[in-house]
Amino acid sequence: MTEDLRESGRRLLTLAEKAGAEEAEVFGLESRSIDVDLRRDRAEMASESLSRGLGLRAVVKGAVGFSSTSDLSKLEMVAESAIRAARARGPDQWWRSLPHPLMAGRAEGVRDPAIIGMGVEDCLDLAATLIDGAAASGGAEPVSGGVSAVCGREFVLNSNGLFLEEEGTVFTAYLETVAKGDDGTVATGYDFANSRSAIKDLSQLGRSACDLARRSVGGVRGEDGTVQVLLGPIAFADILENAFVPSVFADHVQKGRSSLAGRIGETIAGEDISIIDDGLLRGGMATSGFDGEGVPSQRTPLVEGGVLRAFLYDTYYAGREGGGATSTGNADRPGYAGIPRIGTTNLVLSSKSPADLLAEMERGYLVTGVIGAHTANPVSGDFSVEARNVFSVEDGVSSRPIRSLMLAGNVFDLLGSMEAGRDPRMVGSAVVPTVRAEMKVVGS
């Protein structure tokens, strides 16, 4: 990070205090992103972009005002804007304080020099391996895809003397494919990879996306009823993040938008199931030494042995709860232009007794992905989704493709009855395995 961004951050903090802030906080971010967009079997665009900016939170009588900029010549305007916003909101009786300095956690596996040294040509070469893998698979064609390499550095400083800084890298790639049957029917496939380290060859990703599309051609109608369903990691992560995760956010709990309010110590999942929010997971997509407010990241068990143990807090909602509650290091920033809100870090679901679920399944469905999980009710946990890339399972073997299925259920019922597999995968910042449970399905 260039020294002028740090110095500008310190100057902005001083300007906010001079303008009337009782407390102030500056978040700074500087990043470089190399992106390759694919259309069919060629690169449509390759670009390199730089971004940097500062976000200011200013506190006046407990009210928080926010302003941000990418123009470092307008710091006085930013300070004044944040102060005006705070005064316009009026006092907030629940505000306690911005965080005080604490030692940051040890974040490992989050910075790869290979990504920092990448250029546009390097990403184009990697995109070529993605296309080559798809071509070698045969039977399906790429529709769209992309490769992205990002490196960046961020810092948090506030008027309580806190200053923390960290550098990190992210590498992502994906491919969408299509396959056509002899009868003219079409099926699609998708796969992705994400890592904090560079991936040297993407050919396997290309083959996987094409294989999924090719295997999905010729789908037949699924049977209605209550059947055994295998939810692959991508499908399960989508349901978990939309139907379950909001219920452990302290703001939802305190505002009556969570069915888990007042249930700490109760059993909400199978006795083998544990769910941990791990901000220090080695190489995790959301791993960092500190959160968006400068609170040290930590490992927070949410569910242990099926029992609800904790909720996730930022500084504000910990102060609002009282009773000695403290931030769990879960203030999530969307960037320098957004305020921190409660969010997960790396959500890790595991079982004490994982099983080879496919091999042990006599009859049912394997669901690779779902559409519509965002419509889940985060209060009740109810969800209804369309399953995609579905296959029937007979005697431990996935075989016939199913055209489409509708799945309906409740995430807490799912957590209470499911079995977990031995194939954990990082899906975004969630690490989850395939799971098996009885579910209501409707063929379409």
Q: Which of 176, 191, 214 is the last residue of a domain?
A: 214
Based on the domain organization, do 197 and 289 belong to the same domain?
Answer: no
Q: Residue 37 corresponds to which tokens in the numbers above?
A: 């967009």
Based on the domain organization, do 201 and 236 belong to the same domain?
Answer: no
Based on the domain organization, do 119 and 253 belong to the same domain?
Answer: no
List, in sequence order, the alpha helices (H) in 98-167: 113-116, 120-137
Based on the domain organization, do 297 and 341 belong to the same domain?
Answer: yes
Phi, psi (rounded to 5 degrees) for 408: -135, 145
Q: Which of 172, 196, 214 is the last residue of a domain?
A: 214
Based on the domain organization, do 190 and 271 belong to the same domain?
Answer: no
Task: Count how many Cα atoms sit within 13 Å of the Cα of residue 392 in the half-sphere of its side chain.
Answer: 15
Based on the domain organization, do 318 and 438 belong to the same domain?
Answer: yes
Give Cβ neighbours of residue 55 (< 8 Å, ≥ 6 apart): 26, 27, 28, 66, 67, 68, 333, 335, 336, 337, 338, 339
Which residue range forms the structural domain that includes residue 253?
219-444
Based on the domain organization, do 247 and 209 belong to the same domain?
Answer: no
Q: Which of 199, 214, 229 is the last residue of a domain?
A: 214
Based on the domain organization, do 134 and 161 belong to the same domain?
Answer: yes
> Which CATH number do you get for residue 74?
3.30.2290.10
Based on the domain organization, do 118 and 165 belong to the same domain?
Answer: yes
Could you read off the pLDDT tens digit of each residue along the chain, which spans 444 residues?
Answer: 467 999 999 999 999 999 999 999 999 999 999 999 999 999 999 999 999 999 999 999 999 999 999 999 999 999 999 999 999 998 999 999 999 999 999 999 999 999 999 999 999 999 999 999 999 998 999 999 999 999 999 999 999 999 999 999 999 999 999 999 888 889 999 999 999 999 999 999 999 999 999 999 998 888 899 999 999 999 999 999 999 999 999 999 999 999 999 999 999 999 999 999 999 999 999 999 999 999 999 999 999 999 999 999 999 999 999 888 999 999 999 999 999 999 999 999 999 999 999 999 999 999 999 999 999 999 999 999 999 999 999 999 988 999 889 999 999 999 999 999 999 999 999 999 999 999 999 987
Based on the domain organization, do 196 and 277 belong to the same domain?
Answer: no
Based on the domain organization, do 66 and 88 belong to the same domain?
Answer: yes
Based on the domain organization, do 334 and 361 belong to the same domain?
Answer: yes
Q: Residue 437 corresponds to which tokens in the numbers above?
A: 């449970």
- Number of structural domains in the chain: 2
